């Protein structure tokens, strides 16, 4: 494993193997495994869990981490090729990334979608450019259309909860004041499909996941014996669900048009997950969400504070699985520098 950019690069067996490593490191900690190793963290966008869990993961394995945040202590970085840099960005990633890469043993990078051009965002232009500039391992900590660390943590949570491999996994669109990126729904639908589940994408009209996202999930399902469908029929979708994974995302019909998106969601306030959503679900149906979540907008207090919420367990599993990712990328072959 050279990088950790997409669960699709690993396939089912390697994911299962990585989760076994995560369990092993929990049972038999290796507090000096990464002694002398340094992880660089470059966050173009804000973070609570991703930044903290990566830093703690390095610390729990005996390594160090160093964070760079353009706009908070560092300057803006240009990502486009060939531009004349007279704007706000003082430095180009063509310099910044190789420099950080040369200081550190691995990099973790967060770079959200720009939210203007759907094809460009799905094409992962920025992250592909960053990856091409790294010699050392690179970890995707949320790109424009992926979030493999979240997906891996969620897979582990499903395993921890003994959710059946063929169980019904409903990825349910939820309301939000703004149009959010597609990274988590894309990563999570693919993850559940790769795990072999019966994936149902439940979303209102105008919020269908892009065809490339659906197709990628279907390919994963085909390889693992799962299935992927979508619907705007909430009752049908939720009937028999083992897991409801709530997630906010922007309208794909109005991608990049904030006003049209706002009009589209004006009538969607009832797409807030309530306890009543679980009436026809399987017994013990779990509520999942990647966080951060806006309470009483996307999910009601009654659900988040009730017995079916697994959001804290998911967040803790970020730490658990990332230790395995770092160990696999950096461990076991001595110091480089």
Contact footprint for its own copies (CB under 8 A): 29, 31, 35-36, 38, 40, 43, 46-49, 51-53, 55-56, 59-60, 64, 66-69, 72-75, 78, 82-86, 90-92, 94-96, 98-100, 102-104, 177, 291-297, 301, 304-305, 311-312, 315-316, 319, 335, 337
To 5 degrees, how large is the angle CA 329–CA 331–CA 334?
125
Minimum separation from the CB atom of position 180 to its own copies (A): 10
Q: Which is nearer to its own copies, 16 or 67 (CB)?
A: 67
To 5 degrees, how large is the angle CA 37–CA 42–CA 46?
130
Q: At what angle do helices 183-195 and 11-27 cross, to 10 degrees?
A: 90
Spatial separation of the C-alpha atoms in residues 53 and 110, rounded to whole Å: 13
Q: Which is nearer to its own copies, 1 or 83 (CB)?
A: 83
Minimum separation from the CB atom of position 331 to its own copies (A): 16
Minimum separation from the CB atom of position 290 to its own copies (A): 11
DSSP one-letter code for 7: G
Minimum separation from the CB atom of position 229 to its own copies (A): 30
Using DSSP, state whether 148 is helix, strand or coil.
helix
Q: Which is nearer to its own copies, 215 or 305 (CB)?
A: 305
Minimum separation from the CB atom of position 100 to its own copies (A): 6
What separation in angstroms does the CA of 278 have from each of 139, 198, 221, 303, 312? Answer: 36, 17, 25, 10, 20
Minimum separation from the CB atom of position 164 to its own copies (A): 26
Q: Which is nearer to its own copies, 85 or 258 (CB)?
A: 85
Spatial separation of the C-alpha atoms in residues 161 and 328, rounded to whole Å: 25
To 5 degrees, how large is the angle CA 109–CA 137–CA 107?
30
Q: What is the helix (H) or strand (E) element at residue 108, kind and residue range? A: strand 106-110
Q: Which is nearer to its own copies, 60 or 254 (CB)?
A: 60
Q: Which is nearer to its own copies, 187 or 304 (CB)?
A: 304
Q: What is the helix (H) or strand (E) element at residue 229, kind and residue range? A: strand 227-231
């Amino acid at each position: 494993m050279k990088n950790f950019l997409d669960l699709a690069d690993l396939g089912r067996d390697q994911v299962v193997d990585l989760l076994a490593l995560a369990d092993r490191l929990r049972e038999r900690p290796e507090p000096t495994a990464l002694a002398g190793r340094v992880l660089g963290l470059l966050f173009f966008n804000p973070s609570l869990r991703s930044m903290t869990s990566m830093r703690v993961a390095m610390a729990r394995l005996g390594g160090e981490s160093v964070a760079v945040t353009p706009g908070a202590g560092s300057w803006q970085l240009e990502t486009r090729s060939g531009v004349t840099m007279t704007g706000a960005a003082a430095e180009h990633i063509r310099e910044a990334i190789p420099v950080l890469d040369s200081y550190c043993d691995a990099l973790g990078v967060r770079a959200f979608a720009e939210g203007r051009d759907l094809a460009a965002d799905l094409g992962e232009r920025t992250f592909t450019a960053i990856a091409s500039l790294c010699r050392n391992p690179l970890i995707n900590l949320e790109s424009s259309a992926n979030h493999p660390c979240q997906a891996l943590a969620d897979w582990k949570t499903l395993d921890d909860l003994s959710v059946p491999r063929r169980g019904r996994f409903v990825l349910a669109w939820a309301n939000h004041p703004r149009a959010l990126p597609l990274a988590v729904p894309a990563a999570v639908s693919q993850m559940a499909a790769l795990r072999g589940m019966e994936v149902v994408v439940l979303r209102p009209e105008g919020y269908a996941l892009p065809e490339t996202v659906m197709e990628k999930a279907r390919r994963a399902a085909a390889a693992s014996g799962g299935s992927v469908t979508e619907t705007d029929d909430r009752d049908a979708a939720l009937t028999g669900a083992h897991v409801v994974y709530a997630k906010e995302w922007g309208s794909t019909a109005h991608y990049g048009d904030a006003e049209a998106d706002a009009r589209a969601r004006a009538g969607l306030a009832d797409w807030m997950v309530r306890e009543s959503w679980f009436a026809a679900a399987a017994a013990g149906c779990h509520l999942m969400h990647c966080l951060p979540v806006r309470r009483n907008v996307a999910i009601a207090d009654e659900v988040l504070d009730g017995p079916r919420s697994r959001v804290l367990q998911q967040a803790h599993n970020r730490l658990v699985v990332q230790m395995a990712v770092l160990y696999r990328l950096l461990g076991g072959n001595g110091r480089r520098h």
